[in-house]
Amino acid sequence: MEMEPASSSGSSGGSQPHSMPSRRSRAFYRFTQQNLPACKPALTPGLVIITFLLLGIIFVPVGLVCLHASRSVVEIVDRYDIECIPEQYQSNKMSYIKDSTISKDCKRDLKVQSHMKAPIYIYYELENYYQNHRRYVKSRSDKQLLHGLKHRDTSLCKPQEMSNGLSIVPCGLIAWSLFNDTYSFVRGTTAMNISRKNIAWKSDQDHKYGKHVYPFNFQNGSLIGGGKLDPNTPLSDQEDLIVWMRTAALPKFRKLYGRIEEDLNAGEVITVHLVNNYNTYSFGGKKKLVLTTSSWLGGKNDFLGLAYAATGFSFILVAILFALIHVKNPRPQGDATFSSWNRKTSAR
Amino acid sequence: MASGRPLLIPSPKTPTSPEPPPPPLPRIPSKSQNTSISKHSSSSSSHHPPPPPRFPSRRSDSITTSQRDIPDSEARFVYINDPTRSNSPTRLPTNSISTTKYSLLTFLPRNLFEQFHRLAYIYFLVLAAMNQVPQLGVFGRETSILPLAFVLSVTAIKDAYEDFRRHRSDKFENHRTCSVLSSDSQFLPTRWKDIRVGQLIKLHSNDAIPCDMLLLSTSDPTGVAYIQTVNLDGESNLKTRYAKQETLKTHSSSSSSTTAFPTSGLVRCEKPNRNIYGFHANMDIDGKRVSLGPSNIVLRGCELKNTSWAIGVAIYTGRETKVMLNSSGAPSKRSRLEAHMNRETILLAVLLFLVCSIVTILAGVWLHVHRAELDYMPFYRKRDYSGKEVGKYNYYGIGWEVVFTFLKSVILFQVMIPIALYVSMELVRLGQAFFMIQDDSMRHEKKRFQCRALNINEDLGMIKYVFSDKTGTLTENKMEFRCASVLGTDYSNTLTTQEEDDDDDDDEENNNAYTLTEDGQILKPRMRVKIDEELVQLLRSGNKSEKKKRACDFVLGLAACNTIVPLVVETEDPRVKLIDYQGESPDEQALAYAAAAYGFVLVERTSGHIVIDVLGQRQRFDVLGLHEFDSDRKRMSVIIGCPDKTVKLFVKGADSSMFGVIDKSRNMDVVRATESHLHSYSSIGLRTLVVGMRELNSSEFEEWQSAYEKASTALFGRASLLRTVAANIETNLQLLGASGIEDKLQDGVPEAIESLRQAGIKVWVLTGDKQETAISIGYSCKLLTSGMTQIIINSHSKESCRKSLLDAFTMSTKLSAMASNAQNSVGDAGSNKVPLALIIDGTSLVYILETELEEELFKVATVCDVVLCCRVAPLQKAGIVALIKNRTDDMTLAIGDGANDVSMIQMADVGIGISGQEGRQAVMASDFAMGQFRFLVPLLLVHGHWNYQRMAYMILYNFYRNAVFVFTLFWYVLYTAFSLTTAVTEWSSVLYSVIYTALPTIIIGILDKDLSRKTLMKYPQLYGAGQREERYNLLMFIFTMLDTIWQSAAIFFIPLLAYRHSTVDISGIGDLWTLAVVILVNLHLGMDVFRWNWLTHVSIWGCIVATAICVIIIDCIPILSGYWAIFEMMKQGLFWFCLLGIIIAALMPRFVIKAFMEYFKPSDIQVAREMEKYGSLNEAAANTAREIPMTSFANANQRIP
């Protein structure tokens, strides 16, 4: 890098005004003559090699650190949507899930592979569930969530908009399809304490969901899509709803259910009592329960670490390649013999 | 007079009018009249210069046309002094003008209508309209219109501002006042806008003319008025206009007041038209019918000069005036780059179609596969159970859903075709134009460069052919008298004597010749001329030799045989006045100044006589007759009555025509000597004229006089009759001598041509001059060199043309074969080819252009390095440009200064006007205008290169920028069951090309420089980048698109994989994608920036910061679903690692390829950039590295100090 001398285009001179009254007008003159001081970065071989090397040297360790962080996360994933259906309903899952008379209780044993440090996050994971489907995403009324019935225009909420002439609070497909499986955990013989508070974003609770909006007519329709809400709790305290309403970005997603505030030891088996209410069978969705610790980087995901390491490694390779070619076949910088008009004549 | 320039499209100034005009009022000057005139003029000359003689206008129409009756249906009836009747039955427009395009009411519809001529806008409008359909709504209703509205309003504001400025100037014009005859026969001041057709208007000296008027009466008893037409056609010399004798007669008979005029009469004139130089009409006045021509009208935009008053009747007013009808803007051209851009836009449209089709097909398949599940699927729910009857919710069957998906995807991905690019391009061109205008190296005597066309800036960087006019373009068109040959003696020793006495006036003798005193006042010719001492001595010597007499006659001929009008101009020194010779031909001016320098000062000219100060002694010569120059005779003549009662005929003209009428028998030696002098003059590039004379005896004179009188009063065929009269009298002349006038080359022309040649630009010179002059100028401006083989084609038939072209072609192929043979054997790379020069004249071109021989000419001309066309007519100039333009893809540029260059300027891809001596017509027709030919070098090599480079990069970058965004959206659609959800908020997608990324590309499009001015000027070869279209071509487009796909994949898939098992919501990851794509495209731009100045820094970093702020603001609105998402994202380390990873991974391939290409396969630009950076180090090395023969480049290097 080097600063271009401001007077570089001396050839433009000749008619340069003689009197330059102030610095400002001189700066403006320089501007009009397109002669502003500027930095001209150039890719010299040295710079290129050093850049690549440097990037490589930074990226490989960063990748390894990320990988380490990801590896330190302990995760238990249990898919239960199939297993939780009794034998006789395996071939006809729909009739099972639709029949409210059948008990949906289900018991799952989870084995802890290695020590898990509190807090342990409980997620439910849905797959093949397009929470990001256009029809679904749009089917909500954020104004109604905040203002309740005071906000009347809920046309976006169709087909879950009105019930008996009043708009459903909260309206829309998203709220209607609220996830309603429940989990309780038993460690040995004692029920575990699960924290179900503070699972939603504080900002949502404070500003996005009304403190005086009550779901008084929720899930009253002929078709029940999912969970019910306590009509006496304002929306701002319905954390499950708030979590659910943050529509997931991808068709396979996790949502926070609660936290276990105690460590789990390796080899331990904990029993999950779950109520398998939520119907994903109609469209082949999968349901999983996830218990995981977290690291500074988030959950378990090797991708970023691997990607960084691989990129860093390839940078080093490129640097070596470039250096090799450079040594074998150097080209002096700024040598006019490499310009096309000289090459043409010398080629003859 | 004999400027030798060819005739052209109607222009008042070209001396070679095709129709030598008849004097409208043929009148043989009689003694009595002359005295009266002279009295009048001398009385007024205390304030005004003596009025020039009433010479016929060169532009008056021929008898045949003016006598033609105008059918009533095509005529306009103007009742003099009766505006009411003139305006019935149809009301004619008032004189108020409106150059504004819009009114308050019509602005919106008209402006929008004009803007929607751009196809792309209609595309966006249709998409925005489609988005309003509920089934298709992808964006919110308001947001979908926003980009288009933004683009439209930016342009609309620009248009409105321009229109407002026009409105203001219109208002100023309309509120000017002039005197109009009111109903009570008084001239009252009236606003211009209130002038009506038929009203009588009185003008005073220096008044601007408010509308097109027919002159009825002037202060001059002969009805002459002088006007200056500088605003109309840029010519600063005065032109004469006449009131008809008949209307003047009314003046003397009807009233005794000093300013009388006809107050009734009927004018039948043609309907308003835009021909400035044509007019026909007739007038019924006092029971007589008088025909009127263009010399009888004065046009709006001119000024009355040297005439104390003039009265006329308004015939065309307001928007029907000729100047308004002619005020159309420069023709709009479309740049080559933009044409290519449209090709790529179509490719992008195909790509868009493809992407949409993929989405549509996948969506159809998905719907088909899941068709049974759609009813209850929580995220689809095609049935609505809320009502009493189960209805379908927003579902129209799979077929319609597929159609809707397609249309929706088009709406979603519409930015694939970058709408902002159109506005950016306009702004960038505006900025580039600003810099071109501001550039001091293209400024000439306060005259700045002008950009008249705003949309072809970048074409300047791709020029391959330059077609140049000669006179006024390569040369200054300031004629300077250089040599004289008098009676076979060469007096050309003027070059040496002058250098010393330029600075002071100690040289008494010389000064005597230059100045003369009158009533204690010193009169000086405005221009000094270098004179030959010997001739001065001869003229002043007392001897009465024949030689001296003839020499005097020669100089007298120079002083008298012209149409120059001397004007006396005041100077700062009250004692000194300057004589300014006003004339239509610069050659004549030069001759008159030369005569003055030799002591024959033309002091006064009136209708009937001229006063010449002959060596300090005032003498009066009666001008008895004048035969105008015409292109057939190629000479002019005057018949003057000398004080010694002899009548002399002086003729001057081109040598070819003069030697035919010279009595060679009298003095063969003189003729021979003069011929050889002429040859030597023209070989050093001088324009030559031959002067001859004859004394007429009284019988000859009377015979001529009666013939002349008869001819000039003839009603039909006046022009040819007069020509015959002239030809009859111009015989048996005695040769006096010849003059050589230097047409000075402009500064820096040879250097400029050399630079252009090195830049790979072929320079063709098209001139109206004769061949020898053209060739000599060719040598002096280094267009031709001695090493060149000249192919000269002068043919007079089609067959001989064909033959010479074939010969030329075989010769050229033979020569190149020889050259390559020589190279093969000797291996000498230096002498690669024998340079060829083709010299062809207008006569041959007549047989070649627009026939099948064009192809042959093209073949020959393209192998020649230099082409010189002489004696070409204006339309032939355009024909030659078309020859190249139609047969190749190469960009052509035409540069010229005169009206005869207009056709070629308009024909070429880029037309450049030189605002020089020859008026403004070329400038008006041009795309760019400048003061000097040499500015072509900085214009093309520096600005053209920059503009091309900038614009090419900007277009590619804009394509890339929008495509990256679209592909990022596209990848996401694949993960949303093809339902066209966007993770990026709709506001961000709207603001993306408007705020997030728009400014840097504009700033860089205006400011970035790949190479410094110095480098570009030093190595003209660098210009080749534009000619080879290196910076923008299909291949680059394809590579850019591939890069785009990679980059968008990096943007999309890195977060996708990193957040695969997380709770991330749409808005959060959408914000990450938004920030990633904006930072990426801005850094991508930053990577390609050549020079980082503070503006670049501000725009790039500023845009990134602005984007972050916008994203944060959007996420601070509680009623949007993305509330607070960005903050939740930024809490996690993952977000930052993703961002960094995306940017590095996305830019890596490009960076690697760039580094490898720049290092191992450097372009010329790259090499030059390195030279710029390490130049000081390598200069010495380059000089020592002599093993590689460096031809032109080595030469260029040696010039470096």
Quick one: closest CA in B to A159, which residue?
A: B384
Tell me the catalytic residues of B: 469
Nearest to A40 among B384, B1173, B1175 (CB): B1173
Contacts of B1062 in chain A (CB under 8 A): 253-254, 298-299, 301
Judged by a CB distance cut-off of 8 A, whether residue A326 touches chain B is yes
- The average pLDDT across B924-935 equals 86
Nearest to B1121 among A38, A142, A173 (CB): A142
Q: How many CA atoms lie within 13 A of A229 on its CB side?
A: 30
Instruction: Mark which residues 379-438 of B lie under 8 Å from A by CB.
Output: 379-381, 383-386, 393-394, 434-435, 438
Q: Which residues, 6+ apart, have CB-to-CB distance to B427 below 8 Å? A: B1002, B1006
Name the band, by pLDDT with cuts 50, 70 and 90, for residue B27.
very low
Residue with the larger pLDDT of the pair B469 and B526: B469
Judged by a CB distance cut-off of 8 A, whether residue B372 touches chain A is no
How many Å apart are CA A140 and CA A132, to the nearest integer?
Answer: 13
CB contact under 8 A, B1012 and A4: yes
The widest CA-to-CA distance across chain A, in whole angstroms, is 100
Examine the pLDDT at B763 and tell me if it is beyond 70.
yes
* Average pLDDT score over chain B: 79
Shortest CA gap B495–chain A (Å): 28
Contacts of A311 in chain B (CB under 8 A): 1141, 1144-1145, 1148
Residue pair B527/B521 in contact (Cβ under 8 Å)? The answer is: no
Residue A132 region, left (φ>0) first, then alpha (ψ -120 to 50), else beta? alpha
CB contact under 8 A, B1123 and A204: yes
Name the band, by pLDDT with cuts 50, 70 and 90, for residue B1110.
very high
**CA angle at residue B856 from B855 to B859, to 5 degrees?**
90
Name the band, by pLDDT with cuts 50, 70 and 90, for residue B717.
low
Shortest CA gap A298–chain B (Å): 7
- The average pLDDT across B402-421 equals 89
- The average pLDDT across B393-422 equals 87
Indicate the pTM of the whole model: 0.80
Shortest CA gap A25–chain B (Å): 14
How many Å apart are CA B662 and CA B488, to the nearest integer?
Answer: 14
Residue B358 backbone phi and psi in degrees, to 5? -60, -50
Straight-line distance from the first to the last Cα atom of chain B, in angstroms, rounded to the nearest whole number: 46
Judged by a CB distance cut-off of 8 A, whether residue B832 touches chain A is yes
Q: Which of A188, A311, A175, A193 is nearest to A241 (CA)?
A: A175
Instruction: Mark which residues 1048-1077 of B lie under 8 Å from A by CB.
Output: 1054, 1056-1066, 1068-1070
Cis peptide before B89 (omega within 30 of 0): yes
Q: Which residues, 6+ apart, have CB-to-CB distance to B382 below 8 Å? A: B374, B375, B392, B393, B394, B395
- B20-29, B281-290, B573-582: least confidently modelled range: B20-29
Examine the pLDDT at B958 and tell me if it is beyond 80.
yes
Examine the pLDDT at A262 and tell me if it is beyond 70.
yes
Amino acid at site B496: T
Contacts of B449 in chain A (CB under 8 A): none
CB contact under 8 A, B1123 and A255: no
Which pLDDT tens digit goes with each residue over B1053-1072? Answer: 999 999 988 899 999 999 99
What is the model's pLDDT at position A165?
78
Judged by a CB distance cut-off of 8 A, whether residue A196 touches chain B is no
User: Of A29, A32, A43, which to mutate for an interface test with B (greatest number of B Cβ within 10 Å)?
Assistant: A43
- B312-316, B945-949, B1004-1008: least confidently modelled range: B312-316
Residue pair B600/B559 in contact (Cβ under 8 Å)? The answer is: yes
Which pLDDT tens digit goes with each residue over B519-543? Answer: 667 777 777 777 777 888 888 777 7
Instruction: Mark which residues 194-253 of B lie under 8 Å from A by CB.
Output: none
Shortest CA gap B143–chain A (Å): 16
Examine the pLDDT at A16 and tell me if it is beyond 80.
no
What is the model's pLDDT at position B331?
53
- A235-249, B209-223, B457-471, B1166-1180: least confidently modelled range: B1166-1180
Burial class (CB in 10 A: 0-12, 13-18, 19+), B1188: middle
Cα B1111 to Cα B766, B985, B1067, B1114, B1126, distances in angstroms? 61, 9, 11, 5, 8
Shortest CA gap A41–chain B (Å): 7
Which pLDDT tens digit goes with each residue over A168-182? Answer: 888 888 999 999 999
For chain B, percent of residues with pLDDT exceeding 90:
19
Name the band, by pLDDT with cuts 50, 70 and 90, for residue B14.
very low
Shortest CA gap A48–chain B (Å): 7
CB contact under 8 A, B1061 and A301: yes
What is the model's pLDDT at position A3?
41
Judged by a CB distance cut-off of 8 A, whether residue A164 touches chain B is no
Examine the pLDDT at A346 and tell me if it is beyond 80.
no
How many Å apart are CA B467 and CA B904, to the nearest integer?
Answer: 8
- The average pLDDT across B958-976 equals 94
Examine the pLDDT at B1146 and tell me if it is beyond 90.
yes
User: Of A1, A2, A3, A11, which to mutate for an interface test with B (greatest number of B Cβ within 10 Å)?
Assistant: A11
- The average pLDDT across B257-264 equals 63
Examine the pLDDT at B230 and tell me if it is beyond 70.
no
What is the model's pLDDT at position B51?
38
Contacts of A305 in chain B (CB under 8 A): none
Q: Which of A7, A216, A207, A223 is nearest to A98 (CA)?
A: A223
- The average pLDDT across A31-37 equals 86
Residue pair B374/B401 in contact (Cβ under 8 Å)? The answer is: no
Shortest CA gap B713–chain A (Å): 58
- The average pLDDT across B485-513 equals 54
Nearest to B393 among A158, A163, A308 (CB): A158
Which pLDDT tens digit goes with each residue over B120-143? Answer: 788 888 888 888 887 777 777 777
Judged by a CB distance cut-off of 8 A, whether residue B1182 touches chain A is yes
Quick one: closest CA in B to A163, which residue?
A: B386
| ipTM for this prediction | 0.92
Nearest to B1144 among A55, A332, A340 (CB): A55
Contacts of A207 in chain B (CB under 8 A): 1118, 1123-1124
What is the model's pLDDT at position B2?
36
Q: Which of B496, B25, B42 is nearest to B246 (CA)?
A: B25
What is the model's pLDDT at position B384?
74
Contacts of B1063 in chain A (CB under 8 A): 123, 246, 248, 253-256
What is the model's pLDDT at position B255?
44
Shortest CA gap B876–chain A (Å): 35
Amino acid at site B202: K
Q: Which of A339, A334, A322 is nearest to A45 (CA)?
A: A322
Residue pair B1074/B1107 in contact (Cβ under 8 Å)? The answer is: yes
What is the model's pLDDT at position A347?
42
Nearest to B1133 among A45, A204, A297 (CB): A297
User: Of A130, A138, A156, which to mutate for an interface test with B (greatest number of B Cβ within 10 Å)?
Assistant: A130
- The average pLDDT across B808-822 equals 77
Contacts of A36 in chain B (CB under 8 A): 1007, 1093-1095
Residue with the larger pLDDT of the pair A165 and B717: A165
Which pLDDT tens digit goes with each residue over B568-626? Answer: 777 777 777 778 787 767 778 888 888 888 888 888 877 678 888 887 788 888 888 88
Which pLDDT tens digit goes with each residue over B54-85? Answer: 333 333 333 334 445 567 777 888 888 888 88
